[in-house]
Structure 1
Amino acid sequence: KEQSKCKISSIIESSLCPFNGEPHSYTRFSLTQNMEGDNSQVEMKLSSDMDEEVGGNGMEEHLIHSSNGKPYVAQRFGCTPKNLCFMAAATLFIFTIGCLIGYLAHSKRDLAPGSSVSMLPSEETDTIKTGAAPHMDWDDVIKLLAKKFSATKFESVFSEFASNSHRAGSPGDEALGNKVLKKFEEYDMNTWTEEYFVKVQDPPASGYNRFIFNGTEGYPNGFLSYSATGRVTGAVVFAYYGQENDFTLLRGKNINLSGRVVLVRAGKISFAEKVANAAKMNASAVLIYPDPTDYSIGDNTPLFGHVHLGSGDPYTPGFPSFNHTQFPPVQSSGLPTILAQTITTGMANSILRKLGGQSAPREWKSYYNNLGNEKDVITVEVNNVLTEKRINNVFGVIKGFVDADQYVVIGAQRDAWGPGFATSTVGTSVLVELARSISDMVKNDGFKPRRSIVFASWSAGEYGSVGATEWMEGYLSSLKMKAISYINLDGVVAGDNRFKVAASPLLHSLIESTLKEVNFTQFSQVTRGNWESDVLEPLKLDNAAYPFLAFSGIPSISFRFAPSNADYQYSGTLLDTRETLKRVTGQQIPQLAETAAKFAGHIALRLVHDHLLRMDVTKYDKIIRTQVAQINGKVKNVKRLRPELLPKALTVQWLISASGSYSRACRTLQTDIQNIDYDDIAMCRLINDRIMMVERNFLSPYVSPKDSPFRHILLGSGPHTLTALFNHLEALRTNNPEADVDLFRNQFALVTWTIQGCANSLAGDIWSLDNEI
């Protein structure tokens, strides 16, 4: 009889805890161990919220095992036949209900996928819930977000964060950082700051920078940080915007550029690229001025900027500028070796009107027509001073409820050369308002993001994204595994005629859907059919989002409201004020800031809300195929015109095969998404990990981040890129003395295997890899 009772008790216990004692999500177990023996006690409650007492005796229902391991549930509940029958019936009833629920859930999942599957999770998945965190419908999320912003609110925020003096490392910069930190704390966010000691170059405090031309001296107030210092003398040559094709044109006119002082317009490309291009031509110095055809800022407005062909502190390339680090003296390969200085429009005109030499090309002509000759001698003197500054980055985080260790980063530059209202004040204000709004959604409206959001206020952005890059260098190994995306808020409001977006191709489909959700009716180029050609633009070297993408391999996005047919003319000047931006935007700053906040908020929330990341890996497939086809055509051309250069055994087939492997990996991912169970948190995580690794795997593992920081083979810069491969083939075709067949073959092999490696990672398991190569 006792054996029968124990068998029945064991059956009941097994029914309540069927998987080797592992609890379901609706049970709570408390395990305690008797330290004087092996007796154990297991407490079970059918609801995690249930604290009721049973029978008024203050004892909870539980199962207790005796010292020999046999349960005596009958002793606790009473072993009458009536009780045993009741418990058996209850167990059978629970089991039956569980089977029915499981069957219905399985049937629903079988019917969910459609016959046509996108690389992105479908809209139907928005309503699927998980046991880990309540899943709010996406339509409810964006309605909540829209209610949080108002144009009138932005007016007061602008006033709070506006400052006439907040250059990096200054008391004004630190005061603004403390204001941002205080706001994050008010929103109940987890906050922290990080301190760096960086080397930057400032104009001489007691001396001056100057030039001497035809006996006339000029003393510009603007400057270019990280210029080489010293004094040079050479003949002036006008080189338009200082782009590579501009110098090629001059060389085609048999103009010797060696030792010359190059005078170029601001615009088109960054200051750093202009100086680097001039250095390749063996020029001795570069003078940069704002031409009246591009800038309406007057004759005497100084320009400020930097000429580091890279980002971050150039004296700690590849590693962070923490105070406790002890590294040998080193500097970035992107530091210029020639002098660089900005001059005003009036100073440039006084030089241009006196130049002789050949006539400028027709498309170059504006007010003055000559390029300069050997008699137009000028002396340039740069005495900038290298100083160390302490800067602080400020952070706040909203933690996710499922994959808290994965996060979207939203950042804005806090410093500026002068008032910097469009450059930094508007972006900082949008950052703070986004933090307030999303925090409020989590705290008061029941929104529970699956992943985390990190809000970052950067310092030393004007010196080349120094604060942001130092942070990336300090946590590169962690960021490449955890950071989902970077959203840049610098300069988001700079006009009211056009809306432009620069981003990783992985985000293009998400951008398209966001443009449909946010009201852009006042911008016709957004609502027209071909949005990509009208809205998208390349991500430039001097954009703060560029190092996140090309250095760290984090899918990034930067966007802005811009003036018609031009860029914002007042960046890098002391005229970047609230009054100037009001005039440029037609008094629409608060309304445009509200729309910018909604656009950034939609992008961020979509990435932290969905089960699967909304990133379209097929976009890169098209880019790779296009560039591989161009290289294939160029190889055939070189073999036809100069067959002695490339060996007959060299074939593009390997590169084509690698491209095909990436295409097949995309289809493999498509199949896995089609078959996924969205309630399976672990499987969703695995799919997302594969998507996140795409951008990282396009960083060439064969070059040093110190020597070639922008290692992305498709969007970066350097000899490791597909663009460099194509250009090297052109150099071979034209018998350029810098061309090197062996170097080309090495580049060719490494690029091929970088693409193949990305395809292998995207394909998933090791047994799913494509072994054609």
Structure 2
Amino acid sequence: MEEEIFADMNTVRIRRKQVNGNRRSIASVPLSRRLAMDQATSAISKIFSGETRFYTRFNAAQNEEGEHNQVEMKNSSDTEDELGVSVGEHNPNIYSPRQRCSLKFPFVVVVCTLFIFVFGYLLGYATSRKKMVIEPTCPPEIDDRVHFEPEPTLGWIGIQKLLDQKLSVTSFENRLRDFSMKSHEAGSEGDEELATRILQEFQNLDMSPWTDEHYVRVQIPSSFKPNKVFFGAQEIGSPRGYLAYSNTGSVQGRIVYAHYSQPSDFELLLNVKINLTGAIFLVRTGKISFAQKVANAAGVGAAAVLIYPDPADIVCDDNCQLFGHVHLGSGDPYTPGFPSFNHTQFPPAKSSGLPNILAQTITPAMASLLFGKMGGPNAPQSWDETRLNKVSMLKLGAENDVVRVDVHNVLVEKKINNVFGVIKGFVDPDRYVVIGAQRDSWGPGYAKSTVGTCILMELARAITEMLKRDGFRPRRSIIFASWSAGEYGSVGATEWLEGYLTSLSMKAFTYINLDGVVGGSQFFKVAASPLLYKVIRETMKEVNSPILPADSTKSLYDQFAGSNWEESVIVPMKMDESSYPFLTFSGIPSVSFRFTSFKDAGDYPYFWTLLDNKDRLDYATGHLTANVAVTAAQVAGHMVLRLVHDYLLRLDVDKYKLILRSHVSQIVRRSTQLKQSGLVTADQFEALSTQWLTSAFGSFSRAASSLTTTIQNSDLSDVELCRIVNDRIMRVSLANCISNMKIWIRNVAFSGRLITVSLLNQLIVQFCLVQLCFLFLDQFALITWTIQGCANNLVGNVWDLDNEI
């Protein structure tokens, strides 16, 4: 602590300041005391130096709080210079700089005693006046535990303009160039290198980064026994590509061409009397995932599936290799429902989504050889389109066309790392949006992973700059996630959810997926929970189309919505998207979107190949890859910022209720039709009662209406009240976790998996079949209770359940 003493006309002031300069205060001293101190100063100056000292400092002892006091004394001339006031005239002849005194020892003792007395007096006075703080010049430090007021410094229009200004084509071109790699397969050196770069950048942005390490089991080709395909005794080939999680071994059987391996394809084959049991299906890539193709084939009794890329679907050469997985699910299939932490031990288990048949990819050249040897009837005309070399007519296969398939993949353990960074909210930091992208791929993965990772990093940079430089203050937090092992079925994302599900419950309220967001420029498609439809529609109206001139103000909504925006834009969510486990496993409302060149929302054709590179994506976007990436970043950024900025969470409960009502109405209508058909027994007739289902939906409807009324009658600027309302909104899709046939799922209404309202509608049509009757009853009970549980969650307090629903 330092103190300065200075005088004005009536008082002497002591200026006290800490050594570190953080705080100072001023205390007043009567003028009489100041004159006494001045005389003492003059006397001491005469004795020791014979001249006036304009600046004399005394060091005090340490005070009781561990600070050091220093007393500074200035004469009146110094005070006049500092304060601009006069305290009297001074005779320059009183003290001459040239005077010298010769002192005797006794007099020195007296003077020293006087000096000690004056010093002690001043020190005691200064100590007694220490706590008189009048005007601090530095503001007190802000306690991190004290939140900002909810009113932001920026309005929504200003926020979206700031974001758009910070996302430029040039920055994306540079980012895409920096993050392009030839190979970064999960767990490889390339994957680790990218993870390190992302972690370092999060650190540079002060985003408190961390990593999440998992040891997962994946399947790779054997280096000793290659996978092979034979037609009779002739070897067709040994492909480099493969399908992870296939069953292994060697099987042979009749080969049958099954188009895309969809249920309708098998119905057609059965209609033309093709025996499917024990067959080996030859199918082409596209329409549905590899896992769905294999699961559908296994469902009709196939022994193996061979999948090839037809040049009619994907422009490629004869040696195009396909890579993928056939796990009908997500995450590590050998720790289903549990995280793959290295310190966690579980009994041997595996997912029910693993196939029990063989699956292998082959090249177009190998497919041409097989078709050239196949006989049997011609394929239907709708299946006949092909551009395989030397194949003019596709055959379905004859009884004696026997093929052997050898699959010798091996399981290995790989270490993967998810990388995270966070921008913390200022009102509700424990409520957050998660935005993520996978960074691994089979090959270059330019469209599948590189573009999404670049968008993730550019948004992290832009929003951090808004926070540091532009006064942006999000109410809620934003978590940026870079996933690994996405190509094996969203393994990184799913393992994180499994490991931290209890921590994420009622905290993470939205997930935004950036995988494969740019695959063209002609169409815009979105797969999302109905809770997010309102945010999606508003965002489409705010973001301009990337394929129009820069001066055009035509929005995505104007460009792609048409007369009915939901029919034009909304598509089902796919199981291979990392948003899928967020929605189905954890119940967190999620969204995936993409710009594509396919009206039917088909995948970018090079996703599962080594051909997913810059040149092909530039061709697909009309050489506007960076422009479309900027637009995609604006779409994701607007949704993120809207969700963390507004008082009220932009989750549309009313829309969720309308869509759920539509599903329930379909079930009731179809069950009524089945009862009237006379095809069910008395016991089955009773089981088809929809009373409890309609009752559960009624409870949900009343709970949703009650929430809407509460919102309309609430002051949402009240932080605590707004938090309570938002918590009720977040509970909408967090129904009770249910299990059926080892498949865990939360969101039964909009999951797209086995336990869904859509499946229930299909089962009603086939209810009279004994093998489906019990499955229907199981699904029916689960659907009913889940809707009722969702209604209970939506109400809020347990004592309000009976009163409100």
> TM-score with structure 2 length normalisation?
0.77
Residues 1:377 and 2:413 are matched in the alignment: no
Residues 1:555 and 2:589 are matched in the alignment: yes
Alpha-carbon distance, 1:423 to partner: 0.9
Residues 1:763 and 2:763 are matched in the alignment: no
**1:600-639: CA deviation from partner (whole Å, max 9, x where unpaired):** 0000001100111001012221222212121112212222
Which of 287, 291, 294 is equivalent to 1:275?
Answer: 294
Q: State how 1:636-651 maps to structure 2 within 5 Å.
A: 636-640=672-676, 641-644=678-681, 646-648=684-686, 650-651=688-689
Q: How many residues align?
A: 648
Partner of 2:760: 725
Residues 1:417 and 2:436 are matched in the alignment: no
Q: State how 1:372-771 maps to structure 2 within 5 Å.
A: 372-520=397-545, 522=548, 525-526=559-560, 528-565=562-599, 566-640=602-676, 641-644=678-681, 646-648=684-686, 650-697=688-735, 701-703=737-739, 707-717=742-752, 719-733=754-768, 736-740=769-773, 742-769=774-801
Residues 1:355 and 2:380 are matched in the alignment: no
Alpha-carbon distance, 1:745 to partner: 3.1
Partner of 1:323: 342
Q: Which amino acid aligns with 1:307?
A: V
Mapped to 2, the partners of 1:280 and 1:57 lie a distance apart of: 96
Indicate how the Cα distance of structure 1 residues 743 and 579 shifts in structure 2: closer, same or farther if over 3 A, else same.
Answer: closer
Alpha-carbon distance, 1:389 to partner: 0.6
**1:521-565: CA deviation from partner (whole Å, max 9, x where unpaired):** 736642534222222211111112111111111111111111144
Alpha-carbon distance, 1:695 to partner: 1.4
Alpha-carbon distance, 1:701 to partner: 3.1
Alpha-carbon distance, 1:214 to partner: 4.0
Indicate how the Cα distance of structure 1 residues 135 and 688 shifts in structure 2: closer, same or farther if over 3 A, else same.
Answer: farther
Q: Is the 8 Å Cα contact of residues 498 and 564 (structure 1) preserved in structure 2? A: yes
Q: Is the 8 Å Cα contact of residues 286 and 340 (structure 1) preserved in structure 2? A: yes
Q: Is the 8 Å Cα contact of residues 710 and 717 (structure 1) preserved in structure 2? A: no
Indicate how the Cα distance of structure 1 residues 743 and 337 shifts in structure 2: closer, same or farther if over 3 A, else same.
Answer: closer
Residues 1:256 and 2:275 are matched in the alignment: yes
Q: Is the 8 Å Cα contact of residues 657 and 772 (structure 1) preserved in structure 2? A: no
Residues 1:151 and 2:176 are matched in the alignment: no
Q: Which amino acid aligns with 2:731?
A: M
Alpha-carbon distance, 1:223 to partner: 0.5
Q: Is the 8 Å Cα contact of residues 133 and 448 (structure 1) preserved in structure 2? A: no
Partner of 2:200: 182
Alpha-carbon distance, 1:136 to partner: 2.2
SS in 1 for 2:282: strand
SS in 2 for 1:752: helix
Indicate how the Cα distance of structure 1 residues 57 and 604 shifts in structure 2: closer, same or farther if over 3 A, else same.
Answer: farther
SS in 2 for 1:375: coil
SS in 1 for 2:738: coil
Indicate how the Cα distance of structure 1 residues 260 and 772 shifts in structure 2: closer, same or farther if over 3 A, else same.
Answer: farther
Alpha-carbon distance, 1:480 to partner: 2.1
Q: Which amino acid aligns with 1:321?
A: S
Q: Which amino acid aligns with 2:407?
A: V
Q: Which amino acid aligns with 1:716?
A: S
Q: Is the 8 Å Cα contact of residues 321 and 363 (structure 2) preserved in structure 1? A: yes
Q: Is the 8 Å Cα contact of residues 133 and 402 (structure 1) preserved in structure 2? A: no
Mapped to 2, the partners of 1:586 and 1:621 lie a distance apart of: 41
Mapped to 1, the partners of 2:797 and 2:158 lie a distance apart of: 37
Greater radius of gyration (CA): 2
More off after superposition, 158-167 vs 350-359: 350-359
Q: State how 1:63-74 maps to structure 2 within 5 Å.
A: none
Residues 1:299 and 2:335 are matched in the alignment: no
Q: State how 1:172-211 maps to structure 2 within 5 Å.
A: 172-211=190-229
Q: Is the 8 Å Cα contact of residues 573 and 752 (structure 2) preserved in structure 1? A: no
SS in 2 for 1:291: coil
Q: Which amino acid aligns with 1:409?
A: V
Q: Which amino acid aligns with 1:559?
A: F
Alpha-carbon distance, 1:327 to partner: 1.1
Indicate how the Cα distance of structure 1 residues 491 and 631 shifts in structure 2: closer, same or farther if over 3 A, else same.
Answer: same
Mapped to 1, the partners of 2:28 and 2:758 lie a distance apart of: 79
More off after superposition, 551-560 vs 660-669: 660-669
Larger RCO, structure (CA 8 Å, separation 6 or more):
1
Indicate how the Cα distance of structure 1 residues 214 and 56 shifts in structure 2: closer, same or farther if over 3 A, else same.
Answer: farther
Mapped to 2, the partners of 1:464 and 1:323 lie a distance apart of: 20
* Identity level (%): 54
Alpha-carbon distance, 1:143 to partner: 1.3
Mapped to 1, the partners of 2:765 and 2:401 lie a distance apart of: 35
> TM-score with structure 1 length normalisation?
0.81
Mapped to 1, the partners of 2:312 and 2:207 lie a distance apart of: 47
Alpha-carbon distance, 1:51 to partner: 7.0
Indicate how the Cα distance of structure 1 residues 648 and 431 shifts in structure 2: closer, same or farther if over 3 A, else same.
Answer: closer
Partner of 1:164: 182
**1:342-400: CA deviation from partner (whole Å, max 9, x where unpaired):** 11122112212332233333322224343112211000001111111111111100000
**1:217-267: CA deviation from partner (whole Å, max 9, x where unpaired):** 111111001111110000011111111222233233332211110111111
Indicate how the Cα distance of structure 1 residues 678 and 723 shifts in structure 2: closer, same or farther if over 3 A, else same.
Answer: same
Which of 315, 318, 329 is equivalent to 1:310?
Answer: 329
Q: Which amino acid aligns with 2:584?
A: A
More off after superposition, 411-420 vs 677-686: 677-686
Mapped to 2, the partners of 1:132 and 1:609 lie a distance apart of: 9
**1:673-722: CA deviation from partner (whole Å, max 9, x where unpaired):** 1111122111111111111111111xx53316x81134421122555322
**1:14-63: CA deviation from partner (whole Å, max 9, x where unpaired):** xxxxxxxxxxxxxxxxxxxxxxxxxxxxxxxxxxxx978476479xxxxx
Mind listing any 5+ residue stretches in structure 2 that lack a counterpart?
Answer: 1-21, 31-146, 387-392, 549-555
Mapped to 1, the partners of 2:29 and 2:608 lie a distance apart of: 77
Mapped to 2, the partners of 1:739 and 1:444 lie a distance apart of: 61
SS in 1 for 2:771: coil
Q: Which amino acid aligns with 1:253?
A: V
SS in 1 for 2:430: strand
Q: Which amino acid aligns with 1:607?
A: L
Q: Which amino acid aligns with 1:598?
A: Q
More off after superposition, 375-384 vs 761-770: 761-770
Indicate how the Cα distance of structure 1 residues 356 and 139 shifts in structure 2: closer, same or farther if over 3 A, else same.
Answer: same
Which of 155, 161, 186 is equivalent to 1:137?
Answer: 155
Q: Is the 8 Å Cα contact of residues 525 and 535 (structure 1) preserved in structure 2? A: no
Q: Which amino acid aligns with 2:763?
A: H
Mapped to 2, the partners of 1:132 and 1:715 lie a distance apart of: 33
Q: Is the 8 Å Cα contact of residues 422 and 493 (structure 1) preserved in structure 2? A: yes
More off after superposition, 232-241 vs 353-362: 353-362
Alpha-carbon distance, 1:322 to partner: 0.8
**1:654-690: CA deviation from partner (whole Å, max 9, x where unpaired):** 2122222222222111111111112211111111111
Mapped to 2, the partners of 1:652 and 1:349 lie a distance apart of: 53
Q: Which amino acid aligns with 2:612?
A: D
Mapped to 2, the partners of 1:447 and 1:335 lie a distance apart of: 47
